[in-house]
Amino acid sequence: MAEKEQSVGRWQKEFFENIHLFKRSGMTEEEAKKILQKFLYLSSVTPMPPAMDVFKDPNSLEQVGVYTAPEEKARNFMIEFLSPIMKFFTVEGIENLAVLKPLIGKYPLTLISNHLSHLDAPAIFQLLYHASPEGRSVAEQLVFIAGRLAYEPDFTRLGLYMFGTLLVCSKRDMADNPSLSDLMTKINMRAFRHSQKLQSEGKIVAIFPEGTRSRDGRLMPFVDTVYHYVANKVVLPISLEKTDKILPTTSLLFNQVAGKLVIGKPVLVGELSRKQMESFPKHIEHLPFPEHGDKKQFLIDNLALLVGQNLNKHQHGIYRNLYSADSRDQNKLIRIPKESKEKIVIIGNSSMGIAIATILANKDVLVKVYHPDASYTSQSDEERRDLKNYSLYKLPPNLTFTSDPEALKDATLFIQGTNPWEIHTVYPELQVHLMKNKAPFFNVVKGFTSSGLILDDLQQALGIEDDRIGVISGASYPDQIMERKISGFEIAAANESLIPRVQKLLTTGYIFPRPAIVPTDYKGVQLGGALKTIYALVMGIVEGYFNQTLGGNVDNSLFHLSNRFFNEMVKVGVQMGGRPETFQGLSGLTDFMLSCFGTDAKDRKTGYDIANGRPSEKMSNGFYGLKVMPNLMKIDPEEVPIMYAAYEAVINKKDVRKVAEMMENRLSRV
């Protein structure tokens, strides 16, 4: 709301352009002009609520309190004003209001909703009010939790008088105003106590658990302070779509959009008193606290699911991986299967290993991520998120973490998900299990070890048979897989009959795997993924160098060189044992192009930083691969001038400008 300009001059210039919207809704020009003038007038004369006086005089808190009652005149006008604007909104789940109505006044009730716009609270009131007689009863009992900043802009303050409000202060507000933090803490404590009093009187407390508006429409983490407002209460989940399109933050022009409000089924969260439980209706869903683990986090996560279950899948945000991607037409939560079709162990916690784990969890399988760090696995398991790579994303219940090597004993499929420089810390205790359990062993991590390809090293060290070996690779960022953006893989295996099984496990609504061009060339598929990291690093160096020396757009140079880079990569790959045609597939050419020109390509970024004198402290697959390359082949400047130049600049730390000029000279006569 702070983004809104409050200058009356701007209102006068822009605001009256809204007249066209009201005319389209059936008003005459005079009627439309009159209602807009009235909105401006009421907005300018509507005062700050008395509760805000506490920031001028902290000693007045006991006297003014934190509650602001609705104002009938403002309510009636806003209902009239919003009606044409929200003309195309629909309400679903109206039947759930009839279920809720008998509970009003008998049990503590809390309404929760996702938060998209500063108009969300007025929109919820407006839509419920007109939905049905039961909806009107619910709307008239609403008391919204409102942050201090919500009251400040004249433009939006009027809508807050449609219903009761309780003043609270967010953690961010407290951090930005440390001198007021003690006062704000007192305000929050008083607001909670007052909410309990209001609920005992039959009011319905309404809260936005995200704590602030989502700027992209996707669910954000629910804040832990919401816990006290929902624990041991009956919760009515509301899901909003498109309210952020009614009034964009950069404009004062309203839009008529086809939005939606979905009313979920009421749910009892936690427990009521013994007396209340005796009379509580048995048909109301119940979400009890777990016997073990973090009860607060469990409750908060499940509230997000209650709201998210009625949202479009693209709005699920950090909770998106909790829903089955195989169910395209409905929001179906991933559950722990009664009978698991596979028991899959991901060995290691690289970003790609975790991303693959979330894909596999869409099936009726059990997925375990193994890592020897017991502290990491225990905390990740308890908090239902990977603390190393993706601490924001919530993970489904059939994906767990373990530091116990015994987890490998009954696995039906192993996924190698360890970065090459971490293999020596992850695998020491696993050899006996990998030799006894003959389950297939597929690698998903790109790069070289100090002595060769990842699978070659592990086969030799652990005694894994050829017919168990396979590789999954392609042009895909693990970060975007976690966001459920469409991606694909190629699959190759020494035993070609394993490919359909793995392909089926990986196929979801956003992942489209296929056999490699040469299905049995698992070495070539590995080499494509491993070598491209090195050449992407070089491309980043070249781009950084050209931007410094030439300036402006250097696409001509980069795309011309990409052809030379790719040809050299294929040459090296064939010399190291890959089939030439394999490099034309997803794991070769397509992955090469993504890594060299993709905006999120880590190796390209690392190279760019090196060229600009900012070497990365974080290891990348390309950097590590280049470092160990002399162990694998002779880096001859006549045979592989691009790799030679990269080695000189990155590992031997020669002057980038001189190395680039040397490479240009060699390429001009190769």
Structure tokens, 401: 């973490």
Are 500 and 562 part of one and the same domain? no
For residue 451, what is the domain's CATH number?
3.40.50.720
Give the model's pLDDT for residue 12: 58
- Residue 337 resides in a domain: no
Give the model's pLDDT for residue 136: 96
The series of mean pLDDT values per 10 residues for the chain, 670 residues long, is 48 77 91 92 89 92 94 94 95 96 94 94 97 96 92 80 94 90 94 96 96 90 91 96 86 88 96 92 91 82 91 91 87 91 97 98 97 97 94 95 97 97 94 95 93 91 94 94 95 98 96 96 94 92 84 81 92 95 93 90 88 75 89 91 90 84 72
Domains of the chain: total:
3
Question: What's the half-sphere exposure (Cβ side, CA atoms, 13 Å) at 475?
Answer: 17
**Of 265, 296, 315, the domain-final residue:** 315
3-class DSSP assignment, residue 144: strand
Amino acid residing at 111 = L
Residues 6+ apart with CB under 8 A from 203: 141, 142, 143, 164
Does an H or E element contain 34, and which? Answer: helix 29-45
Structure tokens, 388: 């190393």
**Of 463, 490, 515, the domain-final residue:** 515
* Dihedral over Cα of 243, 245, 250, 254: its sign: negative
Give the model's pLDDT for residue 6: 47
Give the model's pLDDT for residue 11: 54
- Residue 334 resides in a domain: no
**Of 485, 515, 545, the domain-final residue:** 515
In angstroms, rounded to a whole number, what is the distance separating the alpha carbons of residues 621 and 351? 12
For residue 95, what is the domain's CATH number?
3.40.1130.10
Which residue do the tokens 């209902």 mark?
79
Residue 182: how many other CB atoms lie within 10 Å? 11
Residues 6+ apart with CB under 8 A from 506: 356, 359, 360, 472, 489, 491, 513
Are 200 and 87 part of one and the same domain? yes
Give the model's pLDDT for residue 171: 87
Q: Which residues of 557-580 are buried (b: 16+ CB within 10 A; e: fewer)?
A: ebeebbeebbebbbebbeebebbe
Give the model's pLDDT for residue 4: 45
- Residue 322 resides in a domain: no
Give the model's pLDDT for residue 5: 45
Give the model's pLDDT for residue 529: 92
The DSSP secondary structure of 383-410, one letter per residue, reads: HTSBTTTBSSS---TTEEEE--GGGGTT
Are 301 and 360 part of one and the same domain? no
Are 124 and 241 part of one and the same domain? yes
- Residue 604 resides in a domain: yes
Residues 6+ apart with CB under 8 A from 137: 101, 104
Are 478 and 604 part of one and the same domain? no
Strand order in the sheet with 514-515: 399-402, 366-370, 343-347, 413-416, 441-443, 469-473, 490-493, 514-515
**220: which DSSP letter?**
-
Residue 304: how many other CB atoms lie within 10 Å? 24
Are 379 and 230 part of one and the same domain? no
Task: Determine the structural domain holding residue 214 and report its residue range.
Answer: 8-315
Are 505 and 551 part of one and the same domain? no
In angstroms, rounded to a whole number, what is the distance separating the alpha carbons of residues 271 and 493? 53
- Residue 430 resides in a domain: yes
Beta bridge partners of 469: 441
Give the model's pLDDT for residue 215: 87
Residue 628: how many other CB atoms lie within 10 Å? 17
- Residue 335 resides in a domain: no
Are 439 and 311 part of one and the same domain? no
- Residue 491 resides in a domain: yes
Give the model's pLDDT for residue 294: 80
- Residue 547 resides in a domain: yes
